[in-house]
Structure 1
Amino acid sequence: MAQLPFIQGHRGFRGLYPENTIPAFEHALKAGVRVLEMDVCISADGQVLVSHEPYMNSIYSSKPDGQAVTKEEERKFNLFLMTYEDIKQFDTGKRGNASFPEQKAMAAHKPLLSEVLALGEAFRKKYKQEIFYNIEIKSVEAEYGISQPKTVEEFSEKVWAVISKQVKPEYIMLQSFDFQVLKYWNKAMLEGKFPAQIRLSALVSRKSPENTIKDLGFIPAIYSPNYQALSPELVVYCHKNGMKVVPWTANEADAISRLAEMGVDAVITDYPNRVPQYLKPVH
């Protein structure tokens, strides 16, 4: 398998551009990011779209009439109950994001996964660069059939149907906090239903690598914890057991440097621009 580039652009390039939008992914690629990290949900008409939440986040979303989505309205705008045409009418960039003061406010909307993959593949073709995708299936057991498909099988197969038409499997990482999702992908890969080259990434907050393996029932290709939970000893353990280590979401240059010194394989960050030494911009 191709070696992973060190920096993964979290939700594209959230520090400077509206998260999980075409501008964020486009600017990440131009800046030299070669792994696009993103989240996917499902619309009422079965479309796979890129969004961190399965609803309209009041922090940055605006309704078609330009009014801000309120905190009380968030759950009313359940993406799983909205067609993609309706979802597209909501803006997710004009208001900016107060948590990211450097983020540029601009018109944007939640794109389809197919659009993001097309962007990356066009970039690959134009600049002869290896582009990877770290795709998180946003799944929570309590939400099965409410804000997502009833089964992880259905969710997963919709996602794979899009990926398989556009990207070679060796450039795909499939990540999730929902271990039922990862168990299904692993089984499907063993059975030959999905390609074995896909890397499965176990997202955890502070669960140890030992307990991650125990709870999954297999060794994932990638152990992906909160960066603050990592130690050099854990990195060594993972590598000895055949796992890459990709922590999330480190945003300060010194924190990323410490992780590099520990020997992690990649870092997910909102601010790729803060560690230009790891990037290969295009000109």
Structure 2
Amino acid sequence: MAQTPIIQGHRGCRGLYPENSLPAFQHALEMGVTVLEMDVCLSKDGQVYVSHEPYMNPLYASFSDGRPVSDASINLYQKTYAEIKSFDVGSRGNKLFPEQAHVATYKPLLSEVLALGEAYARKTGRRIEYNIEIKSEPAEYGISQPATVKEFADKVWTVISASISPSALILQSFDFAVLQYWKTAIHQGRISALVEKETPEQMLADLGFVPEIFSSSHKYLTKEQIDFCHSKGMQVIPWTINTTAEMQQFSDWKVDGIITDYPNRAPQFLKH
């Protein structure tokens, strides 16, 4: 188990650049991040693109003519990827992240993000890994995502397997049906069980197997839970820790990784 937690750039580095965008992933890599965390959804024409939700977010999205998106009703599973790419998701910034740069950008394909990371790895000789979340909710089956987790997971795996080594993959989801399918049918990479408040014991009971990683909200994670996970052979990677003091606390508690919007605030990066 890692002594210094590995820093994962949440949606690239959401605190500093537009989330889940190529500029955010590039900036995270240049800061020294070696694990890029991201979310994936599917377009109408079956393209796997990087986005936290399968709807346009009115917090920061704009139409191609510059008009702000006013609500979250634009279902991207009903749009082709070309239509999705026409939206600007960076120029307005994000009021929740006042340090975030305002740059025109779009929701990229997963293949583009993986190509960016692999090119950086070749250039620098650094090993880059990818924590990819399949954004799946049972209430959205057949609405903003495929009707089956098999179709969704298979399409994601097709892109991943063509782009990177499975050893560089962490596959995460809050939808345990996705993780169960991945474990039995695809069985590649490390599986990370995402939860908010659930204890590791609850997660194990619900999931039905021991994943490589337990990833809970840091707000509900205790040192006892971290120790329990380690006793079961699981790593612990909490989300989303955005202050240096909290990162240091969880480092002292021996978490294996930290997901953060602000990699620049990580104790090991402050000297840069």
Bin for the TM-score computed over the shorter chain = over 0.9
Aligned counterpart, 1:224? 215
Q: What is the 5 A alignment of 1:46-195?
A: 46-71=46-71, 74-75=72-73, 77-188=74-185, 193-195=186-188
SS in 2 for 1:165: helix
Asked if the contact 1:6/1:278 (under 8 Å) is kept, the reply is no
Match of 1:274 among 257, 262, 265: 265
Asked if the contact 2:51/2:107 (under 8 Å) is kept, the reply is yes
- Give the whole-Å Cα distance in 2 for the aligned partners of 1:139 and 1:43: 14
- Give the whole-Å Cα distance in 2 for the aligned partners of 1:125 and 1:67: 39
Deviations 1:124-166 (A, max 9, x none): 1110101010000000001001000110000000000000001
Asked if the contact 1:2/1:170 (under 8 Å) is kept, the reply is no
Asked if the contact 1:5/1:34 (under 8 Å) is kept, the reply is no
Which stretches of structure 1, 4 residues or more, deviate above 4 A after TM superposition? 1-5, 278-281
Amino acid in the other structure paired with 1:269:
T
Q: 1:201 to 1:237 in 2, by over 3 A?
A: same
- Give the whole-Å Cα distance in 1 for the aligned partners of 2:108 and 2:3: 28
Amino acid in the other structure paired with 1:54:
P
Aligned counterpart, 2:199? 208
Q: Cα RMSD (Å) of the superposition?
A: 1.7
Asked if the contact 1:250/1:269 (under 8 Å) is kept, the reply is yes
- Give the whole-Å Cα distance in 2 for the aligned partners of 1:215 and 1:171: 26
Amino acid in the other structure paired with 2:211:
P
Aligned counterpart, 1:234? 225
Aligned counterpart, 1:19? 19
SS in 2 for 1:66: coil
Q: 1:46 to 1:4 in 2, by over 3 A?
A: farther
- Give the whole-Å Cα distance in 2 for the aligned partners of 1:119 and 1:215: 36
Q: 1:266 to 1:278 in 2, by over 3 A?
A: farther
Aligned counterpart, 1:199? 190
Cα offset, 1:278, TM superposition: 4.7
Amino acid in the other structure paired with 1:277:
Q
Unaligned stretches of 5+ in structure 2? none
Cα offset, 1:194, TM superposition: 3.8
> May I ask how many residue pairs the two structures share in their alignment?
272
Unaligned stretches of 5+ in structure 1? none
SS in 2 for 1:111: coil
Aligned counterpart, 1:260? 251
Cα offset, 1:61, TM superposition: 0.1
- Give the whole-Å Cα distance in 2 for the aligned partners of 1:129 and 1:3: 19
Asked if the contact 2:4/2:251 (under 8 Å) is kept, the reply is no
SS in 2 for 1:215: helix
SS in 1 for 2:77: helix
SS in 1 for 2:38: strand
Cα offset, 1:275, TM superposition: 1.6
In the alignment, does 2:242 pair up with 1:251?
Answer: yes
Deviations 1:6-25 (A, max 9, x none): 10000001010000000000
Asked if the contact 1:11/1:24 (under 8 Å) is kept, the reply is yes
Deviations 1:2-53 (A, max 9, x none): 9996100000010100000000000000000000000000000000000001
Amino acid in the other structure paired with 1:217:
G
Cα offset, 1:96, TM superposition: 0.2
Deviations 1:111-130 (A, max 9, x none): 00000000000001110101
